[in-house]
């Protein structure tokens, strides 16, 4: 009887020890599992999160750079990009001057691309060809954006262009939006194209009255580009492959429906005659500064200034190292 009692006691003791060992193993296993997941095992509290290093860039970098590309005959390759004086009444100056006065340079840098900005035609035989002018403006704008992004990687950009400058700014918007530009698309806050010769209905956003009966001159006249090259050195490049890509919802297309530069007829029967008409079409094309019929209730400069202010005010403030 005593032997049986001792045997029962031994079995109970063995079971207890076995259960204890199992508990210890489970606790050790849970501790290992928690450690592998990177969760805190310290009973005093959770591990504090890692500090994110502060984003900073050189002291001479602005939070936002506004890249303005003037229209034909409104710029010069020797003009001062930070204080343009070639044509005081240039359309874009009605936009950039008030913005420069409102914002300090470390918040908004206004850079007006200096380029030849010419368009040779029979009435101006000594002018540089459109192709040469456009290539120079595009290269200078692209180089400025690339240099700024390399030196100031956290600076955001806004693109602005009028007429020939709108074609250049639009082409850069296309490059960036389709992943082939000098800066990443997420660094561009917006683009404003006024009287874009490559305007295609449905591409970008129209803040004003959306002309639905035409398209940019360079699209309509592409079938007769041999003629336009002959008399003006102007290649009609057609539509932009890929449109504005990622920047489609950040690109504003502004065009007066009567302006043949950005709203040419879809079908051009007599290319020669219509090209001469487009080149001479300066009446409406030259009135965007005061025209009240493009964006209801305001003018193009007033709307653009307000739009750029909204983009600038919403942009992050970057610390300067």
Catalytic residue numbers read 163, 259, 285
- DSSP structural state of residue 292: T
Residue 260 CA to residue 285 CA, distance in Å, equals: 8
Residue 84 CA to residue 100 CA, distance in Å, equals: 12
Name the one residue in this structure whose structure tokens are 């040419």.
264
Residue 21 CA to residue 9 CA, distance in Å, equals: 18
Of 292, 35, 308, 266, nearest in space to 160 by CA: 308
Residue 321 CA to residue 319 CA, distance in Å, equals: 6
Count of CB atoms within 10 A of residue 278's CB?
A: 20
Residue 214 CA to residue 264 CA, distance in Å, equals: 5
Count of CB atoms within 10 A of residue 88's CB?
A: 8
Residue 248 CA to residue 222 CA, distance in Å, equals: 23
Of 137, 99, 163, nearest in space to 302 by CA: 99
DSSP of 217-241: HHHHTGGGHHHHHHHH------SPT
């Amino acid at each position: 009887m005593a032997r049986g009692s001792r045997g029962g006691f031994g079995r109970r003791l063995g079971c207890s020890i076995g259960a204890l060992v199992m508990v210890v193993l489970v606790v050790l296993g849970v501790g290992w599992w928690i450690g592998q997941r990177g969760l805190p095992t310290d009973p005093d509290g959770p591990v504090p999160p890692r500090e994110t290093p502060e984003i900073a860039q050189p002291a001479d970098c602005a939070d936002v750079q506004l890249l303005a590309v003037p229209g034909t005959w409104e710029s010069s390759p020797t003009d001062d990009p930070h204080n343009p004086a070639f044509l005081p009444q240039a359309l874009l100056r009605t936009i950039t001057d008030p913005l420069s006065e409102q914002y300090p340079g470390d918040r908004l840098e206004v850079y007006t691309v200096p380029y030849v900005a010419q368009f040779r035609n029979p009435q101006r035989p000594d002018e540089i060809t459109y192709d040469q002018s456009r290539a120079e403006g595009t290269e200078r704008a692209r180089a400025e954006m690339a240099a700024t992004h390399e030196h100031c990687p956290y600076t955001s950009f806004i693109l602005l262009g009028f007429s020939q400058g709108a074609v250049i700014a639009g082409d850069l918007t296309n490059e960036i939006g389709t992943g082939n530009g000098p800066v990443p698309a997420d660094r561009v806050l917006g683009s404003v194209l006024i009287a874009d010769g490559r305007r295609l209905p449905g591409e970008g956003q129209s803040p004003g009255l959306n002309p639905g009966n035409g398209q940019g001159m360079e699209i309509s006249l592409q079938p007769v580009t041999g003629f336009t090259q002959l008399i003006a050195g102007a290649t009609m490049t057609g539509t932009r492959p890929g449109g504005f890509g990622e920047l489609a919802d950040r690109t504003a297309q502004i065009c007066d429906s009567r302006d043949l530069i950005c709203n040419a007829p879809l079908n051009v029967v007599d290319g020669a005659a219509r090209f001469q008409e487009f080149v001479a079409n300066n009446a409406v094309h030259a009135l965007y500064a005061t025209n009240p019929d493009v964006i209801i209730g305001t003018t193009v400069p007033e709307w653009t200034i307000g739009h750029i202010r909204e983009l600038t005010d919403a942009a992050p403030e970057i610390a300067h190292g």
